[in-house]
Structure 1
Amino acid sequence: MAVSQAADTEELMTCLRIQIYHPPGFSHHLYDLLPMNRRQTQDAEDPVRVGRDGQACKFLLNDLRVSRKQLALQAFRAPGDPELRFTAQNLSQRGRVTVNGTALGYLEATELPDKALLRFGFYELLVLREPGDAKAKFDVLFQRRDASPSLEMGQGEGSGTPVMESGLPGLFKSPSQEPSETDEALIISYCSLFIL
């Protein structure tokens, strides 16, 4: 079979492999809105936004404890480096995101190494960058993990210590009720308990 010399050279896509873990005992439908085990091609200038708001985020978690906009992974290229690299940014005003144990406040961002552990709420995301030579696009691949990646990354078992900032310590007793983005109506209800 002859190969056309006029055909474009196929570029190898960088792949952002995101292995997601959540402790067992919660709803089995948390990942129903994510394209699990299917590569999604993304324009390099568009961030990978994860949250529960379908208007603002392309990758959705079916979980009211997750912020409407939780985090963004943004591609970039450093001067003189042909490969795509990525940053992680916390988009949640009330929750925090940790990257390899370092907490990010609202709108704070950090560059990701080729292997990074991101945590928010009870979620742990092991983000692996597989290099490629494409400059304008990359692939995103979500996969479910059955075991916590915290041990693999040397950060201990993370599922017992959620990364939360509700602003109201002691209000939420059950992990299934602990939102990472507190609703104002919930705060009013909580405060009215003490006024009565």
Structure 2
Amino acid sequence: MSQTMETEEDLLTLLHIKFYHPQQHCKGFYDLLPLGTRSRRSADDPLRLGRDAQTCTYSLVDPKVSRKQLALNAYRTPKSPDMLFSIQNLSQRVRLSVNGSLLGYLERMDLPDKALIRFLDYEMLIIRESGEAKASFEVDMEVLTVPPSRETCTCVPGRAPVMDTGMVDQNTAWPEETEETLVCYSN
């Protein structure tokens, strides 16, 4: 058996994908997603998310979502053993943002280890955990009860909220005080 062949003992890279939508409690947006179950994906097959269950790996049951909304592509670089990911906007009519940077149709960018993705009223928090395997990775999906933008921003009075990635999110309003807590609101 070859040394480079992937074995069952190899630790797979894991993508935690956490969803939030303000009306998720009354609609079945996530009925077609494998929530709470890890699924193994081939690294050479893009992970597509959209409304069309025929062409997408994962589907959202929402007529506002584009047929093909976005794609996550795994890749490797010669200088790093890690499996990395890029994100591409597949929607002609809906822009998406990655940590505050807007992506138009077919635009692509590298995904940091922790990224807040926004499109329509959806927020997705994607967290990458490194692994050793080269041919496949795992995906774990869940639904959050609180918007991830609220959980991941650091609010300091008089300063713009900052994502855990250290990048300033230009789409987030200044924090407002409510009782004894600071809350970040998204535009």
TM bucket by the smaller chain?
Answer: 0.7 to 0.9
- Give how far 1:54 is off: 1.4
Name the stretch that deviates more: 147-156 or 9-18.
Answer: 147-156
Equivalent position of 1:101 in the other structure: 100
Alignment partners' CA distance in 2, 1:79 and 1:90? 26
- Give how far 1:151 is off: 2.1
Alignment partners' CA distance in 1, 2:44 and 2:8? 22
CA offsets per residue over residues 5-60 of structure 1, 9 Å max, x none? xxx56100100100100113764311000010111100001111000111210100
CA offsets per residue over residues 54-113 of structure 1, 9 Å max, x none? 121010000001000000111000112111011111000011110000000000011011
Identical residues among aligned pairs (%): 49
Name the stretch that deviates more: 98-107 or 147-156.
Answer: 147-156
Alignment partners' CA distance in 2, 1:26 and 1:122? 14
Which is higher, the Rg of structure 1 or of structure 2?
1
Name the stretch that deviates more: 37-46 or 19-28.
Answer: 19-28
Residue of 133, 144, 157 corresponding to 2:185: 157
Residues 72-83 of structure 1 mapped to structure 2, 5 A cutoff: 72-83=71-82
Residues 125-136 of structure 1 mapped to structure 2, 5 A cutoff: 125-136=124-135
The residue matched to 1:45 in structure 2 has which SS?
Answer: coil
Alignment partners' CA distance in 2, 1:46 and 1:148? 29
The residue matched to 1:94 in structure 2 has which SS?
Answer: coil
Amino acid at match of 1:108: E
Name the stretch that deviates more: 87-96 or 27-36.
Answer: 27-36
* Alpha-carbon contact 1:96-1:120 (below 8 Å) kept: yes
Alignment partners' CA distance in 2, 1:93 and 1:9? 40
In structure 2, the gaps of 5 or more residues are 1-6, 154-171, 173-183
In structure 1, the gaps of 5 or more residues are 1-7, 162-196
The residue matched to 2:80 in structure 1 has which SS?
Answer: coil
Amino acid at match of 2:87: A
Alignment partners' CA distance in 1, 2:111 and 2:16? 13
* Alpha-carbon contact 1:148-1:157 (below 8 Å) kept: no
Alignment partners' CA distance in 2, 1:129 and 1:106? 24
Paired positions, count: 152
Could you say which structure has the higher helix fraction?
1
Are 1:39 and 2:38 an aligned pair?
yes
Q: Kindly tell me: are residues 56 and 9 of structure 1, through their superposed partners in 2, closer, same or farther at Cα, counting changes over 3 Å?
A: closer
TM-score (norm 2): 0.77
Measured on the aligned residues, the alpha-carbon RMSD in Å equals 1.4
CA offsets per residue over residues 162-188 of structure 1, 9 Å max, x none? xxxxxxxxxxxxxxxxxxxxxxxxxxx
Q: Kindly tell me: are residues 120 and 9 of structure 1, through their superposed partners in 2, closer, same or farther at Cα, counting changes over 3 Å?
A: closer
Amino acid at match of 2:44: E
* Alpha-carbon contact 1:44-1:76 (below 8 Å) kept: yes
Equivalent position of 1:115 in the other structure: 114
TM-score (norm 1): 0.74
The residue matched to 1:113 in structure 2 has which SS?
Answer: coil
